[in-house]
Homo-oligomer: A and B are copies of this chain.
Amino acid sequence: MNEKIKRHYQRINKSYTGAIHIAPSRIAKSLGQLYLYDKGLFFSSLSRISPNQLREVLLELDGDTFEVAIKRLPHAKILESIQNAQSDDATDIINRIELTDHSLASLLLHSLHPDMQDEHKELSAYEEDMAGAYMQTEILTATKKDTLRTVKDKIQKFRETEPLSSIIKLYIVDEGGVLLGSLHFTDLILFDDNDTIAYILETVRPRPPITIRAKSPVEEVVRLFSDYDLNAIGVVNRHGILKGHITYDDVFDLIQDLHTEQSYSMAGVNDDAEEQNTFKAGRARLVWLFVNLGTILLASFVIGIFEETIRQFVALAILMPVVAALGGNAGMQALTVTIRRLALGEIDYSSVKSVLLRELKIVILNGSAIALSIALISYLWFFNGTLSIIIAISMFCTLILAGVLGGLIPLILKKTGIDPAVASTVFLTTMIDSSGFLLFLGLADMFLV
């Protein structure tokens, strides 16, 4: 057994014996490595993970390893780990199993307590991009009539089943479950056991709670947490009734997921498919390659128009990629900045003037520098003044176009409700490549040949 494998095996073993607390994500990573290098150790390690840790480990396994693990684990053990999970985690596991083994998922679901089945049904009803899909339904609540003594009992009971990380604040609701406010635990510490919540609320006067509707988009959750430094947000339905809460640790994952999704979309990768098996990931990427084949063929078509010009002047074929590549780079700079700022909520369509002004300023300065340099280089290479002027002009214009489109396309897409990260790059590269070639070869056709 080589050193690396041994280390991974020992890590899992240590967590098994409870010798030290190891994060589930690290156990999952070690399992993934064992699966690759030593299937025997993988299966024996997998079987030794306690149901309690298993639920978190399962959520962290990569697609291929997850499929194998689910096939191999005893159903009773998977079931047990789901039963002990918090509502949002339980739903995640079942949904993930459903993607690889539909009948097992429904078998597991029907073996759960009816209450949990209802909960799963409710949480699954929310789309992946809605706040409701990320809430835990286990919350600590009190009414105004409760005394601090009752609340303390509730806290003690709640702590027996829930992890400390989900005990963040005390939500105050009325008899109908409508959220009235929330209290920090240090708000409670200074009061007497016989004081009622009503009295505490009057004395402390906490800020009105910031809430989110279960059907609001997850981006809004992230924005509220960042803007108001929240550690938990109450999720309410349209009647203001508290359905659950989303906690800071879910938001860490949410922010990471949104970023991954954004980066992947810009590169033509589907984040959900990547988490499934290799075949599905590859198929999703292939779609993008075909889209790009289409757009680049458009650019080839433009080149084809000037076939004769190129035959007479092959230097054009040599310099042609420079115009497209640098235009593409400058465009991606403007595009990336605009998409990021949109995602962070720093700009929206109303900022179109300031965004364009800024990108234009940058691209005029940089375009001049690049155009002059490329003119000089091409002159030293081909000793042809007209060619140098033509490439300088087309380079400059292509860069201006790149800056404007890079700033404009995401804003327009966002305004029309299309995810800018998904579609921007296609539009951008198609327009820059085609118009860059058209300009460069067209000018050459007119003045050079």
Contacts and interface: CB of A to CB of B under 8 A. Distances in A.
A274 B226 contact: no
Interface stretch (A44-52, A99-107, A108-116, A360-368): A360-368
Nearest to A260: B340
A205 interface: no
Contacts of A269: 333, 336-337
A229 B165 contact: yes
6 contacts: A4-B350, A33-B351, A264-B336, A264-B337, A266-B336, A269-B337
Contacts of A156: 190
A263 B260 contact: no
A377 B326 CA distance: 27
Number of copies of this chain that the complex holds: 2
A310 interface: yes
A173 interface: no
Interface string A277-308: 01101100110111011001101100110010
Interface residues of A, number: 112
A337 B274 contact: yes
B62 A366 contact: no
Given A255-B252, A292-B329, A333-B288, A321 B433 contact: yes
A144 interface: no
A1 interface: no
B354 A32 contact: yes
Interface in A216-242: 222, 225-231
Nearest to A366: B286
A76 interface: no
A300 B318 contact: yes
Nearest to A155: B186
